[in-house]
Amino acid sequence: MYKKYIYSVALVALFFICVVEGDRIFVAPKLPQASKSMVTEKKYVSPYVTISAFDDHFREAADSIGWDWKLLAAIGFTESRFDSTALSQVGASGVMQVMPRTLQQFGVPDSLCFEPRRNIMAATGLLKSLDHIFRRIDNVDERSNFVLASYNAGIGHISDAMRLADKYGRNRYKWENSVDTFLILKSEPQYYTDSLCKNGQFKDWKQTIQFIKKVKRRWHKYKKLQEAYDDSIRNIMLNDSTVEIRCK
């Protein structure tokens, strides 16, 4: 008599099991997820050594004229020690100590003369034009002496010194012991009254000559810092496969 109920009881029991344990029985088991500690995260580093807060602007400007950005940074340090609020007694302003006439020439209004990017780009525009003027000087390092001298003293005084050098049998396209000598002599009446001199006396020759030397020394220091930085990054990457160079 109990046999006729056995199938019914079995069906009820099976239904109960399906309702209570169905998810565990019929759903595919979840695979264990990797813990966060198992996920390898890439660590990205910059390809550039850090020199100042304006490095991105220096690189952008340098790319526009094909210069080493560290040379622009060296000029910025020498001019203002990276002080974007600097203002000289003669009116030169900002990181690169740009004169008002140059800022106007490159479309920078007075209200933005201290804005770092605008200031650096205006200075770079001037450097580009000077580089073009001295394009006959094939040696790039030699040409940079004339560009830097003109940036500091003005193209007029450097042109006078070049003409005097030529008159007295010196190489007008050589800076040391040639054009720099006559830039110094332009402080003396015998030379600045010469008809070849179109821009009169020049008393600040010492500042100009020192400016070139300071910029070149600073540039050399920055290049050494970049080389040391490159070496350190290479060593890190050799020992840590998760480190990658950030795209430039």
Cα separation of 71 and 67, whole Å?
A: 7
Q: Give the helix/strand (H/E) hosting 148.
A: helix 140-153
Note if 188 is an active site residue. no
Both tokens assigned to 168: 């007295």
Q: Decide: 221 and 214 in contact? Cβ < 8 Å.
A: no
Give the integer Cα–Cα distance in Å for 122 and 96.
9
Q: Using CA atoms, how far apart are residues 181 and 176, in angstroms rounded to an integer? A: 7
Contact 91, 99 (CB under 8 A): yes
Taking a C-beta distance cutoff of 8 angstroms, is the pair 145, 120 a contact? Answer: no
Active-site choice (21, 41, 60, 79): 79
Distance of CA 150 to the CA centre of its chain: 22
Catalytic (active-site) positions: 79
